[in-house]
Amino acid sequence: MQQKRQINVAVIGTGWCGGIRAGACAASPWVKELHIAEIKEDRLREVAAMTNPVTAMTDYRRLLENPSIDAVMISTTPEGTHYPIAKESMLAGKHVLLEKPIAIELSEADELIALSREKKLAFTIGYSQRFNPKFAYVKRSIEDGTIGEPVSALVSRHITRNLGKKISGRVKLSPAAMEATHDIDFVLWCLAPRRPVRVYAQEVAKIMKAQYNAPDCVWIVVTMDDGTAFTIGAGWVLPPAYPNFASTWIEFVGTEGAVMVDDTHRDVYVTSMKDGIRFPISSMPGEKVNHVYAGPMEAETRHFLECVAMGRQPLVTAEHARLVMQVYKAADQSVETNQPVTLAAAGAPALAPASTPQRTKRAAAHKTRCGDPGLHPTAHKTRCGDPGLTPPRRRHR
């Protein structure tokens, strides 16, 4: 039987997301000691009162000096703080859950990945939507063959202007890097081990430009190595009066079917004299509703705690987060140049085939037989006519 043990955890940055993480840790039987660090003293006191940590301090470096702390969750802003704090945490021997983005530059992400490997530390990025049951269902519909071979996908995500101002006011990262990133992660995860080969993107800048020098939204088209194409639209300019925080629509179409997901959060609404109509439980991380959470961040936090306690690899690999970064950086470049961007095949890390090892093995065997290193197995099969590669949709039947 696997060894199970309680762990000691620190949350660094206890704003909105860090507050949810700290609350989830405080309630978890996996956590023996919770420690928190937050530079805003009033927020530190507020979260300490909610979560009763063993220590609460403004200087996270003092937490890293504590050898009894096994893991840290880094939920700081601005986003430029992610890389240095993650690096210091790993150097101090801590397992790390880091909010997206993994870093500002690819070279920083590479450094963190190398360090986590060298020190044999769990390292995962907060792509919380993977823990949204609706998103997990799409992944399963592809894996179990329900929709057949994927053909195309669309994800359209909008958040309100208030959140857009909060994000673009603190960091000069694009909507591709800050919003579409969740959906790039999700679709690449669904399509693994296929790899992205081409990215084209267009931004619109009509509303936020004057005040924040930021675009309003981005539309991205990504082509995969087997010819599958997907598009992601991500914007942060829904009017403040919009009754919602975040609204997402997904279409995944395959050779044998399609799965459509309405994640627009219009299923619960409240009307009041003061605020009119609101869809109250619609933020992306998912706020606390008494004893439960409305969204995936609490489940994601528990998953990380379990992985550290049981010595398992978390679902989101840092290598995958790096690939997501390559795609959104290509989208930024495409916006700038107004041209499609081809992703370099060499040197790009493999997509994490976490739940499809058999498929990866077959793909490797096929590549060896076929001798063409550049293509996805489905494309190999079509091109070279090798019957030895079972179509994915028949795998579980």
Nearer to ligand NAD, 43 or 134 (CB): 43
Helix (H) or strand (E) holding 322: helix 318-337
Nearest-5° Cα angle at 349, 110 to 155: 100
Asked if residue 204 binds ligand NAD (CB under 6 A), the reply is no
Q: Which of residues 127-166 bind ligand NAD (CB under 6 A)?
A: 128
Using the rule CB under 6 A, give the single segment among 7-15, 267-275, 308-316, 377-385 that binds ligand NAD: 7-15
Using the rule CB under 6 A, give the single segment among 74-82, 188-196, 269-277, 308-316 that binds ligand NAD: 74-82
Q: Which of residues 247-266 bind ligand NAD (CB under 6 A)?
A: none
Distances (CA, A) of 164 to 135, 207, 268, 319: 23, 11, 23, 28
Asked if residue 99 binds ligand NAD (CB under 6 A), the reply is yes
CB of 27 to ligand NAD, least distance (A): 19
- Could you give the CA distance from residue 331 to residue 353 in angstroms, rounded to a whole number? 24
- Could you give the CA distance from residue 48 to residue 295 in angstroms, rounded to a whole number? 22
Could you tell me which of 301, 246, 216, 212 has the C-alpha nearest to residue 34?
301
Q: Which of residues 10-29 bind ligand NAD (CB under 6 A)?
A: 12-13, 15-18
Look at residue 381 and give its three-state secondary structure.
helix
Asked if residue 126 binds ligand NAD (CB under 6 A), the reply is yes
Cα atoms in the 13 Å half-sphere on the side-chain side of 19: 16
CB of 294 to ligand NAD, least distance (A): 12
Asked if residue 36 binds ligand NAD (CB under 6 A), the reply is no
Asked if residue 37 binds ligand NAD (CB under 6 A), the reply is yes
Nearer to ligand NAD, 195 or 265 (CB): 265
Where residue 145 falls (left for φ over 0; alpha for ψ -120 to 50; beta otherwise) is left
CB of 123 to ligand NAD, least distance (A): 16
Could you tell me which of 315, 328, 317, 297 has the C-alpha nearest to residue 184?
328
Residue of minimal CB distance from ligand NAD?
A: 15
Torsions phi, psi of 367, nearest 5?
-60, -40
List residues binding ligand NAD (CB under 6 A). Answer: 12-13, 15-18, 37-40, 43, 60, 75-77, 79, 81, 99-100, 126, 128, 284-285, 297
